[in-house]
Structure 1
Amino acid sequence: MSDPDCLFCNIVAGNIPSTKVYEDDETYAFMDIAPAAEGHTVVVPKTHTKDVLEADPAVYASTAKAAQAVARRAVDVLQADGVNVLNNCGPAAWQTVFHLHFHVIPRYTDKSKDSLTLPWVPHPGDLDAIRAIGEKLAF
């Protein structure tokens, strides 16, 4: 099942060229053409799924498993010093292609290979407010 208007569905179908990194029956991974770091890869399910909230759990699991394999390969082959595995869900979370995907971004202490910076500076929050929100989220 694919969406003919979806960029990632067209990449999976071979209608748009990509540099394949990994493929199995359920997933496809390819090099990002606007990389945040050397080796930045995008991992997608072959089945069109809008985002993490709408994903069938099996589709989500197979995509996460492929992202983990790509992350391990980046550390082993590219000798990355670390790796970020990111998912953006919804416009407010910076999702721009509405097909579930994970960005696997190798991280390097050598900043000539890595331009990604932390988008926020963590600092302690209000513990009472944190507890109250945690209670709302609990199930």
Structure 2
Amino acid sequence: MSDCVFCRIVSSEEPAKVVWSTANSIGIVPLNPVTEGHVIIVPNVHVADALEEPDVTGTTMHDAAWYAKSEGIGPVNFITSVGREATQSVFHLHVHVVPRAENDGLALPWYSGKTSKKREVH
């Protein structure tokens, strides 16, 4: 899809800092990383989101986990969104691999601030 920035990156028509690749996906550094080591895993085929082609989604998540493991990244958030209301801004499936550290200042994406305190996750 020529109007899709990730398709143009995959086909080398658009510049990006590619840090990892497999037969199924590439890993690129986002324009505005939120933590040191933040990478986006993008499948080589165009699917709009994680619901469109579950097999591609599974493979992309596998590649994201494999990337994190091979790079020794952890703790980590794997984040993907489906739909504008869920903060999806590029409509080509992608998984953010966001390395985390204690007190890194990055709020959990699902904390709305509507409650008096965050729930503890165990």
TM-score, length basis structure 2: 0.83
C-alpha distance in 2 between matches for 1:12 and 1:81: 26
> More helix by proportion, 1 or 2?
1
Asked whether the equivalents of residues 81 and 109 of structure 1 are also in contact (C-alpha less than 8 Å), the reply is no
Which consecutive aligned stretches of 4+ in structure 1 deviate over 6 angstroms post-superposition? none
C-alpha distance in 2 between matches for 1:96 and 1:54: 16
Q: How many residues in Structure 1 have an aligned counterpart in Structure 2? A: 114
Matched, 1:100 2:93: yes
Matched, 1:69 2:77: no
C-alpha distance in 1 between matches for 2:68 and 2:79: 11
- Note the aligned Cα RMSD (angstroms): 1.9
Q: Which residue in 2 is equivalent to 1:29?
A: 27
For residue 9 of structure 1, give the secondary structure of its aligned residue in structure 2. Answer: helix
For residue 55 of structure 2, give the secondary structure of its aligned residue in structure 1. Answer: helix
Q: Which residue in 2 is equivalent to 1:118?
A: 108
Which is greater in Rg?
A: 1
Unaligned stretches of 5+ in structure 2? 112-116
Q: Determine which of 79, 84, 107 is the counterpart of 2:77.
A: 84
C-alpha distance in 1 between matches for 2:55 and 2:24: 10
TM-score, length basis structure 1: 0.74
By how many angstroms is 1:73 displaced? Answer: 3.5
Asked whether the equivalents of residues 17 and 29 of structure 2 are also in contact (C-alpha less than 8 Å), the reply is yes
C-alpha distance in 1 between matches for 2:7 and 2:74: 31
